[in-house]
Structure formats: structure tokens, C-alpha cells
Amino acid sequence: MGDNSLLGGSGAKLTFLGTWSCTIDGKRRLTLPAKVRETIKNAGISDLITTLGQGGCLLVVPQQTLDELGPGFLHDPFQANKADKANRGKGKLRFNLARYGSVNQPDGSGRITLTADQMKITGMSKQVIVFGNWTRIEIWDRARFEAINPPMEDTDEHDLLMADYMGQNEES
């Protein structure tokens, strides 16, 4: 599997774009933004997996995305050769995703419930950012998100990144 299907899946091409300030209620429920709910509904998705992402966020992906990972990811780590570092790493990742994972079916109000462990391990407060990161949804503690991703002051840095990515930067 050449692409990183955990982050995007190879089934329905879902695109989530945008940043929304949201609040987690006293029962650890988060109302997904209307645009996110619409995308999920239009794709016919009912089950969402919420689990530990990278950098201290929670990752929200359709159940089918994890199902599509297949034997390469869902390989039983007990069958791996102890010298096989790649499979040990996959086993540890699989363990962490399961340990901090939960299956959510958004309720009639579009809410999902986060677990106490998810909130604790990510340092999540009540004030969060729901971030549509192209093929996935990320949930960040607002302060952490803003510290890692400060707002742009102007487009100069962005322009340089675009030029580097497009192979047009003369300084490269």
C-alpha cells in the first residue's frame, strides 16, 4: 500500500477542509461542525473511529478506512519475528490505536463522545479545534493547536512553501 491509507483511505474520496472552534460538553461530547456532518452523511458513513493521532491530536476516520488497511497493518503482532522491527512497530501502533480508540456513531445532533483516556492522553480541554486536514478530521486542544499552528501574518512563508513544493524556488 503506497499511500498512507490510515490517513485517507482508498475507498470514498472524502475531503475535509476548514478549522472550527468547538466546545466539548460535560459528558465529553463534541458536536461535529455542520460541513463535516454533511460530508460524512453524503458518503454514507455511519461509524467513525476516534483514536490517538500525531502531535497530541485525536484522529477521526471512517471505520472503513481502518478496515481497508488489511493484513499489512492488522497483522497479528504475536506472529511477527522478534527481529522484524517493522512488524514490531506496526504492532505497537496497532496497540496504541486500539487502546485509545473508540467507535462513534454521531447522534441525531451530530455529536460524538470522546473517552476519558482520549481527553487525558492528549491534554484536551473543553475548548477544541476541529481541523479538516484534507482526508481526515483532527481534534486538537485549542491552545496546543494555536501554539503549533499560529495564524499567518502574511503570505510570504506560504509562497515559499508553495514554490518549494511546485519546484519553482530558485534558492533550492
Query: In this structure, which topology does domain 5-165 adopt according to CATH?
Result: Chemotaxis protein chec (3.40.1550)
Residue owning grid cell 514554490: 163
CA angle 30, 136, 38 (to 5 degrees): 60
- What pLDDT was estimated at residue 9? 42
CA 94 vs. chain centroid, Å, equals: 15
- What pLDDT was estimated at residue 89? 76
DSSP output for 131-146: EEEETEEEEEEHHHHH
pTM of the full predicted structure?
0.81
- What pLDDT was estimated at residue 10? 42
Mean pLDDT of each 10-residue bin along the chain, 172 residues long:
38 81 98 95 92 95 76 58 66 86 95 98 97 93 95 89 81 50
Residue 121's nearest CA partner among 21, 50, 49, 47 is 50
- What pLDDT was estimated at residue 7? 40
- What pLDDT was estimated at residue 70? 60
Per domain, the residue ranges of the chain are 5-165
Q: How far apart are CA 34 and CA 66, in angstroms?
A: 24
| Helix extents (H) in the chain | 5-8, 34-42, 63-67, 70-74, 85-99, 116-122, 142-148, 156-165
